[in-house]
Structures are given as structure tokens and as C-alpha cells.
Amino acid sequence: MAPLDPTPRLPRASSVPAARAVLTVTGPDRPGVTAHLFSALARSGGGRPAVEVLDVEQVVVHGHLVLGVVVAALPADGTTPDEETLLEHLEGLADDVSDATGMTVAVEPASEPEPAAPAGRPHHVIVLGRPVPPDAVAGAARAIAGIGGNIDAIRRLSDYPVTSFELTVSGAEATALRTALATVASSTGADIAVEQVGLARRSKRLIVLDVDSTLVRGEVIDELAARAGRAAEVARITAAAMNGELDFAESLRARVRALAGLPVEVLDEVREALVLTPGARTLIRTLQRLGFRCGIVSGGFTQITDPLAETLGLDFAAANTLEVADGRLTGGLVGDIVDRAGKARALIRFAAEYGIPLEQTVAVGDGANDLDMLNTAGLGIAFNAKPFVREQAHTALNQPYLDAVLQVLGFTRDEVLDAVP
């Protein structure tokens, strides 16, 4: 006797494919159109073939509805209606729906879809700009097609402060996709980010922000150096360090030595003069309401960053500490230096403290000393960064608004507004 097979078996499908058709409904959007169409499709009998719904896609663009429905004929009385019978039925149905709703309803045959070639998991491609030039979208579409990819869907994420569109792309390998789109971004001036489709994108739970030239405009140490009369000297060292031309720890010590003798009150003056990057408060407020842990990791100084973190209601902060004696800066530092490697260690420490896996973290920064942190995080975003940094980060943003990070994470402008208390 043959062994029992515990797996239930479905009836073998007919080798003859069922007739299929696609209905496309277009016109000014109004309540009840979708319900009316599907109610009509549900009616069968009296010579009307029963159908099953295979696929549905609906989008409303500036009040104009486009609704596509793919249906297949179901067998009845042992036979399956042919394509001619199905189309004849659907054309009559389309006339009825059009008369009742005022919409245009087109019917045409739908061929069996070709099986997709396995070429990596789907990806989201986010195109951002202020505005988005048409050649950026055209260039992205050509680049995607050029590597064998297909755009399955497009949706607008935001129209303010930047315009952004999300393209869902299948059939393209991640590295090839990023390489092809980087060329388009460079030639058109748009930002183009690539992220893999999946739960990981919306499961991010912690964000770490660099401070100087990321969370705030400018470099704090340059402001301190200006008050010490050493601005040009320190600016040269800062530029070399941010471009990766000089070891950060070495450059930091050299710059701090130039601050020796400054009265400690200067720190308060510089802190009070800080200007947040546009969109910083919106980014932090939105992510906090979504349950993110938010904090800063800086190569700057705790005398600046700790009060800033408290003002913004952040969960954590890490930075270097300037040594002070007799009310003046000594030109030295206290404790371990938060350098390039130290920033990555701080991210790991804070993620562990809150029990958040690294793949669920986001890091944002602009300088070479941020690279280890950016590449340790699940998503590293180079924000208005030097070319050296943009080339090595997961993705890059060159918009002046920090809350554009929300669109890279897949949040729409409406979702951001909903998060406002």
C-alpha cells in the first residue's frame, strides 16, 4: 500500500487558460465608482458569465481616477466561457457602469503575464528635488530599463518642502540599480535614493544625527576659533578632516589647542547662536511620535551638544568634552575622543541600550568622520556631504531640508502632517 500523503491536494487546474480581460475606468474621481463597478462584476447568471478578480490597481492624480481591474472567466456548467463571450459581457457591463457614473470604462483582452525573471528583490527608488526636473524621472526610467528593471508603481510622497516620488522597481539588482541611478542624479541635480522593499524599511526605530553641518548649520569649532582669532587656521584643519585628508583625532586636538585661553562663557554665546537646519524639528518631532529613539553623536563638544539635546527632547547624546580650568579653555580634552570609530561605537552602544538591532537604525551625517557610523547603521544617509562621503554612504541627500529624510524612510507628507500634535 502506498504511504499516506498528509498534504491536501487541490484539484488539477485545466490546461486551458481561462479567458481574461482588463477594465480601465477613468474620469473625475467621485464616491461610489469602485463600489458600482465591483457590484456589476459580482452579478452573474442569466447568460452573464461569472468572473474572478485577479488584480486591481487604483490611483487618483489631482482628482482624476484611474482604476484598472483584471478579471478571468470562471467555469460554469462544466464549461469555461471563451474570450469573445467574456468581452461581450464586459462591454455591456462597461456601458452600464459608464451611464451610471459618468466615467469612461474601456475593456480589452488581457494576456497571461510572463513570469518575472529572478533578478533580485524589488526596490524603492525615491526621486527628490526642489522641484523634480522631468529629465530626472525620464533618466531614472531609462536607467532602470537599461539594466533590465521594470517600474511597477509610482506614487508621490511629498510636495513640500521638497517634491518626491517613489518608484517601486522589480527585476533589477541592487548594486547595478544604485550605480545607474547615481549617474542620473549627478547629471540632473536630483537626489535619488534606493532602498530594498520589505518590512525592514518601516521597522526602523532609532536615528542618530551628526550635529555640525547636519542638525545645525555650520561648524561649532569654527565659531569658537573665530572668537579666538584663529579662524583661518582652524578652518583649514576642519576642511582637511571632513574630506578625509587628515586623521580626525589628530585634527581635533590641533583645533582644540587653538582655543586655549577662551573664557568658558564663549561656549554659551556660541550655543545660543546656533541655527538648526531647516526641517530638523519636524524630523525629530515626527520620528518621536512614531516611537523612534532620537539622539546625536558628535565630534563636537558636550558643552554644546548636551544642552541642545535637552532642548530638543532627545534620548541620548555623545560628544567630546573640552577641558576647563579657572573659567577658561585649556586647549585640551577630557576623556575618550569621539572620532570616526567612536561615533560608530556610540551608535552601537545606544542601540544596545534600547534593545534595537542595528539593522533597525538610521544614521545621518556629512563628514568623513561619520562614515563608520553611516555604514554601521541599517541605513546611512549622507546629508549635503562631501563627495568622498556620498560615494560610500548607503544613500545621499543634497536638499537643504533635514526632514527630507522622512521621504527616504518612505513617509508621505500627509503622514508627517498627521504626526503633528
Residue with cell 531614472: 140
* Cα pseudo-dihedral 307, 313, 317, 320, rounded to 10: -10
Cβ–Cβ under 8 Å, residues 90 and 23: yes
Q: What are the residue numbers of the active site? A: 210, 212
In the three-class reduction of DSSP (H, G, I as helix; E, B as strand; rest coil), residue 411 is classed as coil
Q: CA–CA separation, 212 vs 366, rounded Å?
A: 8
What cell was used for 176? 547595478
Angle at 194 between CA 282 and CA 370, to 5 degrees: 65
Q: CA–CA separation, 187 vs 271, rounded Å?
A: 38
In the three-class reduction of DSSP (H, G, I as helix; E, B as strand; rest coil), residue 328 is classed as strand
Q: CA–CA separation, 116 vs 113, rounded Å?
A: 9
Q: CA–CA separation, 374 vs 175, rounded Å?
A: 18
Cβ–Cβ under 8 Å, residues 222 and 290: no
What cell was used for 139? 533618466
Q: CA–CA separation, 186 vs 178, rounded Å?
A: 12
Residues 6+ apart with CB under 8 A from 112: 17, 20
Q: CA–CA separation, 145 vs 299, rounded Å?
A: 42
H or E segment and range at residue 59? strand 51-61
Residues 6+ apart with CB under 8 A from 224: 259, 262, 266, 267, 270
What cell was used for 271? 550655543
* Length of the chain as a residue count: 421
